[in-house]
């Protein structure tokens, strides 16, 4: 294939890119045919731009596609990580402000993409503006210099760990079991690390406790099964918010550790879930972008003598 043939095909597909020298180039060319000025491909919309531009001529994004991909291949950022920087803290049902008069809005939908190359936009947020009630869709990235959170919606999944020996004490989560969607009781099926004097004074903040709990036969399978339960509830007609409670005796070891592991899985944090031996379970949640709140009701309470 010659330059002329490639260029003709690119122009027909409306994919040719123009260099500052005036020459047009096929999208596969990483440098201008005439002046050899290098090009870069926009991570957001796939448009090829000359290196003379620091932002994309199509969408004003300034991140090149070369920065996206798998770390093992030498890239610095995955698509999911880049999308997270663009969406920022915005969540469906939340209210935010872009920082100028009349710019408050509610998020109605989030589509993180990616969409097929050449499709614009590759991700988008749909919002309803407070000022006039208009609904619009766009892909404006979150800018911490001017954007601010007005009100966040409840988390999609709230995970609460507790110790049943502390039942009856006052607090904001005293009645959480009555409000739980899923209640996981670990008291009787799995050995309590409390019986080990070396672990008794430690908590799930300590690696030795986490290793002991997750190394107990059956615990990892129960956490994975609970994640599947959550996934099932999310397919229902009213998928969120959900409340999951993990229970043990004192709330310092088994309940807290399994709550941490479950939070890593459901939030789709594969690297964190791998530390609990649950990376495969987390992969099923990576594209869901669920908001997960982790609460330890009794983790920091004193050891109960028993």
Burial class (CB in 10 A: 0-12, 13-18, 19+), 69: middle
CA angle 264-268-273, nearest 5°? 40
Q: So what's the pLDDT on residue 57?
A: 76
**What is the longest distance spanned by two Cα atoms in the chain?**
83
So what's the pLDDT on residue 249?
A: 95
Q: Which two tokens stand for residue 227?
A: 């994640």
pLDDT of residue 269: 92
- What pLDDT does residue 254 have? 97
Q: Of 116, 93, 125, nearest to 106 (Cα)? A: 93
Q: pLDDT per residue over 272-281, tens digit each?
A: 999 999 999 9
Residue 43: predicted pLDDT: 77
- pLDDT at position 41, please? 82
| Residue 117 pLDDT | 66
Q: How many other C-beta atoms lie within 10 A of the C-beta of residue 95?
A: 17
> pLDDT in tens for each of the 306 residues of the chain?
588 888 888 888 888 888 888 888 888 788 888 888 888 888 777 788 887 777 787 777 777 877 776 545 555 677 777 888 889 889 888 999 988 888 999 999 988 888 776 677 888 999 999 999 999 998 888 888 889 999 988 889 999 999 999 998 888 888 999 999 999 999 999 999 999 999 999 999 999 999 999 999 999 999 999 999 999 998 877 667 899 999 999 999 999 999 999 999 999 999 999 999 999 999 999 888 788 999 999 999 999 887
Question: Helices 219-234 & 254-266, crossing angle to 10 degrees?
Answer: 50
The predicted structure's pLDDT at residue 37: 86
- The pLDDT assigned to 33 comes to 87
Closest listed residue to residue 242, CA positions, set 170, 287, 176: 176
């Amino acid at each position: 294939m010659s330059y002329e043939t490639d260029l003709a095909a690119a122009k027909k597909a409306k994919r040719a890119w123009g260099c500052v020298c005036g020459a047009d180039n096929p999208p596969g060319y990483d440098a201008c045919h005439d002046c050899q000025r290098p090009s870069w491909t926009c991570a957001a919309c796939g448009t090829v731009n000359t290196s003379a531009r620091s932002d994309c001529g199509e969408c004003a994004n300034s991140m090149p596609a070369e920065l996206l991909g798998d770390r093992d291949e030498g890239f610095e950022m995955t698509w999911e990580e880049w999308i997270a920087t663009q969406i920022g803290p915005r969540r469906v049902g939340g209210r935010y402000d872009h920082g100028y008069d009349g710019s408050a809005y509610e998020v109605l939908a989030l589509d993180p993409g990616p969409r097929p190359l050449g499709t614009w936009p590759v991700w988008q947020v749909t919002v309803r503006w407070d000022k006039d009630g208009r609904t619009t869709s766009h892909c404006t990235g979150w800018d911490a210099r001017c954007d601010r959170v007005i009100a966040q919606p409840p988390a999609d999944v709230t995970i609460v760990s507790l110790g049943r020996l502390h039942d009856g004490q006052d607090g904001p989560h005293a009645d959480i079991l009555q409000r739980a969607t899923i209640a996981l009781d670990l008291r009787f099926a799995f050995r309590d690390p409390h019986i080990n004097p070396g672990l008794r004074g430690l908590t799930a903040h300590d690696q030795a406790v986490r290793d002991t709990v997750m190394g107990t036969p059956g615990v990892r399978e129960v956490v994975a099964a609970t994640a599947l339960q959550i996934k099932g509830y999310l397919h229902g007609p009213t998928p969120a918010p959900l409340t999951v409670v993990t229970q043990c005796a004192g709330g310092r070891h088994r309940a807290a550790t399994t709550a941490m592991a479950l939070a890593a899985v459901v939030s789709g944090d594969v690297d964190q879930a791998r530390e609990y031996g649950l990376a495969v379970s987390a992969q099923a949640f990576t594209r869901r972008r669920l908001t997960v709140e982790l609460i330890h009701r009794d983790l920091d309470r004193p050891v109960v003598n028993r």
